[in-house]
Amino acid sequence: MIVTELYTYPVKSLAGIRIDHACLLSTGFEFDRRWMVIEPNGAFITQRSCPQMSLIQTRLENHQLVLSTFGMEDIEVPSPNENDQRTTVGVWGDEVNAIIHDTHINSWLSDALGKECKLAYFPASETRACDPHVAQEGDSTLFADGFPLLLANQASLDDLNSRLSQPVGMERFRPNIVIGGQSPFEEDRWRRIEINGIALRFAQCCARCSVPTVNPETGIIEGPEPIRTLSEYRTGSDGEVYFGINMIPESVGILSIGNDVTVIRQS
């Protein structure tokens, strides 16, 4: 098996970037979910409530974040300083003392989304622990939902698409790593894998919300698919619908498209 695709998402719930190589840190890919859009009160915003977030493109130019969307001039987000203004932001029950960007960045983002919001940055001085029920002491992430990495299997998507009248792309599921697996959903059983000498440890299968129903090209929820079909055969005993697996790095390094994937341990 090999790595077939790599993605990073600098701003939580905005459009991601397909990349050829990724610098993997203990918290996930470098810059992945380093930023997050928040309400004025500090609550995080995602495509669950604001699907048009998918229409804001992100790119990194010399480690500088640039945002763009139709009908607006691109805007370069200045690199934050540890002494910049901070506020407490919430993400899935966790609190982070995040850096808040300047007014002109927040005004641009508010205009793009049609609602008042701000852009928060996860500072190097902060730490956000992964769920201790399934992670180990010291495991941490940034503004991702709960874990540093999401891995998906192309064979699993192919299986899903064979059941859909309108196939969907892998971007609907917002993975970091896509594997060319040999059989659908074999990843559910992987407990430890190795890519380019880097070990990744299984955290949990990924329960899916409504985000995969958002068409990333239109920013519109066009119907219940693909979650409705997925629910017919991928619903767990807890009632959640599963696709992909969350993983935690056990070492750091560079991952590249074409890297071999070795399953070290499986259930």
Mean pLDDT of 143-159: 97
pLDDT for 83: 74
pTM of the model: 0.95
Count Cα atoms within 13 angstroms, Cβ side, for 128.
26
- Contact between 17 and 56 under an 8 Å Cβ cutoff? The reply is no
Mean pLDDT of 2-19: 97
pLDDT for 81: 80
pLDDT for 160: 98
SS3 label, residue 169: coil
Closest CA to 256 of 186, 212, 197, 187: 197
Closest CA to 187 of 256, 136, 243: 243
- Contact between 236 and 204 under an 8 Å Cβ cutoff? The reply is no
Specify which residues 195 forms β-bridges with. 198, 261
Structural tokens at position 251: 């070492």
Closest CA to 4 of 213, 259, 183: 259
Q: 């891995």: which residue's tokens?
A: 151
pLDDT for 79: 87
pLDDT band at 52, cuts 50/70/90?
very high
What φ, ψ does residue 188 adopt, rounded to 5°? Answer: -55, -25
SS3 label, residue 245: strand
Contacts 24+ apart (CB under 8 A), 73-78: 75/104, 75/105, 75/108, 77/35, 77/101, 77/105, 77/119, 78/102, 78/105
pLDDT band at 147, cuts 50/70/90?
very high
CA 93, 35, 27, 227 torsion-angle sign: positive
pLDDT for 24: 98
Give me the percent of the chain exceeding a pLDDT of 90. 92
pLDDT band at 183, cuts 50/70/90?
very high
SS3 label, residue 18: strand
Q: What is the tens place of the pLDDT at every residue in 31-41?
A: 999 999 999 99
Checking if the pLDDT of 201 tops 90, the result is yes
pLDDT band at 251, cuts 50/70/90?
very high
Checking if the pLDDT of 182 tops 90, the result is no
Checking if the pLDDT of 181 tops 90, the result is no
Q: Cβ contacts of residue 6 below 8 Å, gap of 6+?
A: 18, 19, 20, 21, 22, 29, 176, 177, 178, 255, 256, 257
- Contact between 43 and 117 under an 8 Å Cβ cutoff? The reply is no
